[in-house]
Amino acid sequence: MAETMADEIRAKEAAAGEIIATAKAEGARMIASARTAGEQAVKEAKQKSHRSFRDQVKDAEREAEALAVKTVEAGREETERFYAGKKPKTAEVADWLLKEVMSTYGN
């Protein structure tokens, strides 16, 4: 009976060893799978963040372009108003300047 008991103990130990080895292998597979899933999630988050940032930059560029067009147009209109306001005085100033030069330097 002692021999049978020892054989049974050895058999149980061997079975337990196989269970432990299987559990370790399964644990390693689970860890590798979790690591892969985590890396994939990080990669996707980075890509999503990059896309979001790129879209925000594009939106900001569009807004800046629209504002620049409005600013240039407003400046052009202001310049035209200034020019139109000063244009009538040009002939008067030219006549005065001609008189001054002629009176200073003669004919």
- The whole-model pTM stands at 0.53
Angstrom distance (rounded) from CA 13 to CA 24: 16
Provide Rg for the chain, Cα atoms: 45
Query: Which range among 2-11, 23-32, 79-88 has the greatest average pLDDT?
Result: 23-32
Provide the pLDDT for residue 106.
74
Say which DSSP state 48 is in. Answer: H
State the Cα–Cα distance between residues 107 and 72, nearest whole angstrom.
46
pLDDT at 107: 62
Residue 1 has pLDDT above 80, yes or no: no
Mean pLDDT of the chain, nearest integer: 92
